[in-house]
């Protein structure tokens, strides 16, 4: 387990670099974010934003998207991976929202995870971004960054989430999800991490043990 001092330094640096982090998904309402996050599974935010830029001006409420039907919705999201399954889930989700929540996005985990296409990670994103809850949605970026920084050795997203929730200081917890996602997306990338521009190298287990040793071996 990393020291309290090292954890404090990591998140202090991330906060200084990006004081007000947020999602890169484009949305104007809680419902739009819900749809965008469902679409973002195994897809890029850029790709989702391109699709929703065409979808939302036409339909951006549970009722309007439900009225499109699966076939109609697919025409707007067919550039996104797994669009057939996502269209099916989104239509079912809209139906549930209309029947049980007056078309609004519920603000509790149980109700969110009852929606088709919404798992724990998606619920965590919504609870954090929309409702300000202290949650960490562990995607592939956060899973990778947490391991490289030595913040967790968990073998599942759930275990990494538990570790991060336990060790991240409360004052950083609300924004930690976005900081770690963006760090993994733009600096600590999977195949070619940009260690040469990373502000966390002196605090990173991966850099200190693996990257430096490999560099020396090649010298």
Instruction: Let me know the angle formed at the C-alpha of 126 by 76 and 17, rounded to the nearest 5 degrees.
Output: 100
State the pLDDT at residue 153: 95
Residues of the chain above pLDDT 70, percent:
95
State the pLDDT at residue 105: 97
State the pLDDT at residue 50: 97
pLDDT tens profile 145-189: 999 999 999 999 999 999 999 999 999 999 999 999 999 999 999
Q: How many Cα atoms are found within 13 Å in the side-chain-facing hemisphere of 36?
A: 28
CB 97 within 8 A of CB 104: yes
Residues 6 or more apart whose CB falls under 8 angstroms from that of 87 comprise 70, 73, 74, 77
pLDDT tens profile 12-28: 999 999 999 999 999 99
For residue 196, give the DSSP letter.
G
CB 143 within 8 A of CB 136: no
Alpha helices in 78-119 (DSSP H): 83-100, 109-113
Residues that are catalytic = 121, 139
CB 167 within 8 A of CB 173: no
Return d(Cα 72, Cα 150) in angstroms, integer. Answer: 46
Return d(Cα 203, Cα 143) in angstroms, integer. Answer: 17
Which residue segments constitute the domains of the chain, with CATH numbers given?
4-21+136-218 (1.10.1670.10), 30-129 (1.10.340.30)
pLDDT tens track of the chain, all 219 residues? 678 899 999 999 999 999 999 999 999 999 999 999 999 988 999 999 999 999 999 999 999 999 999 999 999 999 999 999 999 999 999 999 999 999 999 999 999 999 999 999 999 999 999 999 999 999 999 999 999 999 999 999 999 999 999 999 999 999 999 999 999 999 999 999 999 999 999 999 999 887 666 655 555
- Rounded to the nearest angstrom, the gap between the alpha carbon of residue 211 and the centroid of all alpha carbons in its chain is 26
């Amino acid at each position: 387990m990393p020291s309290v001092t090292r954890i404090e330094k990591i998140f202090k640096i991330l906060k200084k670099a990006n004081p007000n982090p947020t999602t890169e998904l484009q949305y104007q309402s809680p419902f739009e974010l819900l749809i965008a996050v469902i679409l973002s599974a195994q897809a890029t935010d850029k790709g989702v934003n391109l699709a929703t830029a065409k979808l939302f001006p036409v339909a951006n409420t549970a009722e309007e998207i439900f009225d499109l039907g699966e076939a109609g919705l697919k025409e707007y999201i067919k550039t996104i991976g797994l669009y057939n399954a996502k269209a099916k889930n989104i239509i079912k989700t809209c139906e549930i929202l209309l029947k049980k929540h007056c078309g609004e996005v519920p603000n509790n985990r149980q109700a969110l995870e009852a929606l088709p296409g919404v798992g724990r990670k998606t619920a965590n994103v919504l609870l954090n971004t929309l409702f300000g809850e202290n949650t960490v949605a562990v995607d592939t970026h956060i899973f990778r960054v947490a391991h490289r920084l030595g913040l967790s050795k968990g073998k599942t997203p759930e275990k990494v989430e538990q570790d991060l929730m336990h060790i991240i200081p409360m004052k950083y917890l609300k924004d930690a999800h976005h900081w770690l996602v963006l760090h993994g997306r733009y600096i600590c990338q999977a195949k070619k991490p940009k260690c040469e521009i990373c502000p966390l190298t002196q605090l990173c287990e991966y850099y200190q043990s693996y990257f430096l040793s490999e560099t020396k071996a090649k010298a």
